[in-house]
Amino acid sequence: MTKSFIGIITIFILLSTIFPSSGQTQPWKKLQSPVNVTLRYLCFVDSLTGWAAGEAGTIIRTTDGGDSWEIQNSTVSTFIMDIFFIDKNFGWALTLRDEFPFNSILLKTTNGGDAWHADTFPDSSKLIRTIFFFDSLNGFAGGSYIAHTSDGGNSWIKSDIDSNMVSGYPVYKFNFLHRQFGYACGGFIDRGGVVWRTSNSGLNWNAQGISADEIFDLFILDSLNALTLSGDPEGRFGIANLNTTDAGITWIFEELPFAGLSFAIDFRTYNEGWSASGYKFVLTTNRGETWEEFETPDSVVIYDLQFLDARTGYAVGENGVILKLDPTLVNVDKETNTPAEFILYQNYPNPFNSETVIGYDLSTSGSVDIKVYDIIGNEITTLVDEFKQAGKYKVDFNASSTIRNLASGIYFYQLRIRGSEINSEQTYIQTKKMIYLK
C-alpha cells in the first residue's frame, strides 16, 4: 500500500501539466521548515499547536503558530501514514513495518509527542492506514477494513460493512459530523472511489462506489450535505466534483474542466473551500458549486491542509514545505461564515434512537431559542436560548437524557429568532417534525 501510494504521487507529479493562470493574489507564505523530506499529513488542535508527519518516520511540532518547529522522536524510520491529535497531549500516528511481516504499527503519545510508544496493530494480516478519535478512548482505524476501539487503541473490534463489490476496498480517511453519523472514503486506483457511511456510531457501515478513482478526503458541510473531489492520476480525465444533499444516500457527479488529484479538502469560511492538489490548490468560493485552479507558492507540491478559522490555515508537502495563510491577503471581513437566509434543517438521523442533531442557519444575529414539543403542544425541553451572531450552527438532542421515560412517537422542534437586525417587532419562526423510536 505504501509503495502504491508513493507511485500514485509520482505519476501525478510527472504527468501534471495543467497549471493555474498567473496574476492571482497569493495568500500563502512559506514557513521555515526543520526538515526537507515529504510531509504528507497535518494535524492542528488550535491556531498555535500542531504536528506534521511523513517520510522517514518524521514528526514535527509547533506550539507558536509555525514560527518554530521541533523534530520529535517517533521511534520509527518508516513513512508516517496518518497522524491524529484530540488535544495538546493525546495523539496517534500510523506507519508500516518495512520488512516481513510488514505489520501496521500504531504510535501513541500522551504528552504531545515528547514521547511516542509503538505497538503492532493486533491484526498482522491487514494494513491500517488512517485513524480517527473522538476522545482518549474511543476511535476508529481504517485500511483493509474498519475497526473501532474503546480503550485508546489497545484493542480493536472489526466493524460490520455491507457486502458489495467495493465494500472491501481500502479506507483512506474518516470524517464525522457527530459520534453517531460519519463517513469514510477511499478506493482503488482505476477501479473506483468509495464512500462508506454510518448512522449508528460506526458499528455498521454502508459502502457505495461513486467515482472511477480513489477518494483521499471528504468534507461534511452539514447533516445532509457533503462533498469530495476525485481525480485521475494519469491526467486523462478531469477532476470529479462529487456532492450529496441527502446525507450520502445518493451522490451527484460532475467532471471539472481540468485534471489533477485532491489529497485533502477543508473550508476556510462558509463558502470558501480549498483542496491540496499537488502542484496546485483547487478552490471554491460557492460551497463547491464550482471550482478553479489556484497556484501554490513557487509551484511547491502540497498534500495536506487545515483551517482553524477564517484567518488561520496551514499546508504541508514535498521537501519539507510548510505554508501558512496570510490573513492580510484574504477577505476575512467580507467573506465570513454567513448563510444567505434563515434555515432550520431536518434533524438527522430521523427517525432516531436516543440522539439526533438539529442544524440551523442564521443570516443575521438575533436572540435564538429552539424548543422541543410533544404532539399536543406541551414543551419538552429548551435546546437553545441565547443571542447568536450570524452563522451556521448545530445542536444535539438526546431524548433519553432529556426526560426519563420519554415515549416513542412524533415530536416537533421549533426555531424562533428575534433581533434588531431582523425587526424588533418581528419574530422568525420555523417548525419541523421528528420521530423518536426507542
Helix (H, G, I), strand (E, B) or coil at 332: coil
Q: Which residues of the chain have a pLDDT value below 50?
A: 1-22, 333-334, 420-424
The pLDDT assigned to 427 comes to 72
Question: Taking the CB of residue 403, how many other CB atoms lie within 10 A of it?
Answer: 12
Please tell us whether the domain made up of 343-436 is placed in CATH 2.60.40.2550: yes
pLDDT in tens, 396-426: 898 877 666 788 999 999 999 886 444 445 6
Helix (H, G, I), strand (E, B) or coil at 224: coil
The pLDDT assigned to 426 comes to 60
How would you label 358-388 residue by residue, b for 16+ Cβ within 10 Å and e otherwise?
Answer: bbbbbbbbbebebbbeeeeeeebbebeeeee
The pLDDT assigned to 278 comes to 94
| Distances 294 to 252, 337, 437 between C-alpha atoms, Å | 24, 22, 48
The pLDDT assigned to 337 comes to 55
The pLDDT assigned to 8 comes to 47
- Would you list the domain boundaries of the chain? 2-329, 343-436
The pLDDT assigned to 17 comes to 36
Which of the listed CATH numbers 2.130.10.10, 1.10.150.570, 1.10.1740.10, 2.40.10.10 matches domain 2-329?
2.130.10.10
The string of DSSP codes covering 368-405 is: EEEEEEETTS-EEEEEEEEEE-SEEEEEEEEHHHHSTT
